[in-house]
Amino acid sequence: MNHKIAVIPGDGIGPEIVREARKVLDAAGKKFGFTLDYTELLMGGASIDVHGIPLTDETIAAAKASEAVLMGSIGGDAKTSPWYQLPPEKRPEAGLLKIRKALNLFANVRPAYLYEELKEACPLRDEIIGDGFDMVIMRELTGGLYFGERKTIEENGVKKAIDTLSYDENEIRRIAKRGFDIAMKRKKKVTSVDKANVLDSSRLWRAVVEEVAKEYPEVTLEHMLVDNCAMQLVRDPKQFDVILTENMFGDILSDEASMVTGSIGMLSSASLNETKFGLYEPSHGSAPDIAGQDVANPIATVLSAAMMLRYSLDLDEAADAIEAAVKQVLKEGYRTGDIMSEGCKKVGTTEMGDLIAQRV
Ligand code: IPM
Ligand code: MG
């Protein structure tokens, strides 16, 4: 079976981590009898350099014509890169937001899992870690503050900036359903995170989530205010199974959740729409400071590629094999710099990719 995959290497460490993920995917293809036909697309700074804008209509069309998109990372150093001299809507990040919206990728799934082998890298105390934790953040990705009306004006000589946070009940309902669906396949607990003590959008969020919960009697629903959630993630991360939340809260909480696992370099993500189509990218950014040095950790991208096989291509066995290969490599003591601890063997980006590919 041949599958059509769009690949967006992007900026910074993007091209090198995507190269390793492809290596691993191809190894899985050989073993499980499928091939992937890749079309490379430009987005972010790489697209600005060629087309002057971070995402072209042709790129959107090519992405739509594929079964899934595998992405590295986009963006550069905001202080030094010329991309950040451009107006906000022409900067690399605008390309990412535009493709999320254009492909209707409203459901962003970000697993945060503590690998037994990486306990050393976890900044929390042993008694908090216990026997580890395993949660998924279900972040709404095409609404809220990111896509509300935005402007900067001047009133009586005073500059004023306005961002708008709005959600309609349908947007809330569809992401809530996704959250409950995932919970049904896990520990059957949803923590819906909002700021209902202050925001109208959060009060509507809470009411709609309650309604959706009635269709899932087996799932335990709990509501948590976002400030409390930020605290609970470091106080007792074991309590979480699925965290369901709006766009901005999910952006912040997913970085925090990834840090408690020890390395943001380990965390994959999937952005999904109503169909099987999805965009798969690591949860981390483009790390321009270490780009091209063969030191970046490719594991988050490799695991995102595994999610792609599972969710978009129904190649569960191959996805399992990739995840097992990652665990195996960690068990054997191989580490990139970000997850290095005493007594382990330090390897670079390419070697890490080779090691995982060999073990698939
Ligand atoms: C993320 C990133 C993006 C976001 C940026 C790059 C616009 O932080 O995917 O979490 O805020 O969504
Ligand atoms: Mg983020």
- pLDDT single digits (tens) 147-191: 999 999 999 999 999 999 999 999 999 999 999 999 999 999 999
pLDDT digits (tens, 9 = 90+) for 118-131: 888 889 999 999 88
How many Å apart are CA 228 and CA 39, to the nearest integer? Answer: 44
How many Å apart are CA 93 and CA 59, to the nearest integer? Answer: 15
Q: For residue 333, is pLDDT > 90?
A: yes
| CA-to-CA dists, residue 190 to 181, 184, 232, angstroms | 10, 10, 15
Residue whose CA is at the smallest distance from ligand 1 atom 7: 93
CA of 331 to the centre of ligand 1 (A): 31
* Ligand nearest to C-alpha 282: 1
What lines the ligand 1 site, CB under 6 Å?
75, 93, 96, 251
How many Å apart are CA 329 and CA 333, to the nearest integer? Answer: 7
- Catalytic position from the list 11, 115, 146, 194: 146
| CA-to-CA dists, residue 5 to 183, 290, 344, angstroms | 28, 27, 35
- Coarse DSSP helix, strand, coil percentages of the chain, rounded to the nearest 5 percent: 50, 20, 30
- 216 flagged as catalytic: no
| CA-to-CA dists, residue 29 to 93, 154, 158, 308, 360, angstroms | 32, 57, 60, 13, 10
Q: For residue 263, is pLDDT > 80?
A: no
Rounded to an integer, the average pLDDT of 251-260 is 92
* Ligand nearest to C-alpha 141: 1
What pLDDT band is residue 235 in, cutting at 50, 70 and 90? Answer: very high
Rounded to an integer, the average pLDDT of 68-88 is 96
Closest ligand 1 atom to the C-alpha of 269? 9
Q: What percent of the chain has pLDDT over 90?
A: 91
Predicted TM-score (pTM) of the model is: 0.94
Question: Which of these, 106, 25, 101, lies nearest to 64 by C-alpha position?
Answer: 101
Residues 6+ apart with CB under 8 A from 358: 27
| CA-to-CA dists, residue 341 to 302, 334, 347, angstroms | 21, 10, 12
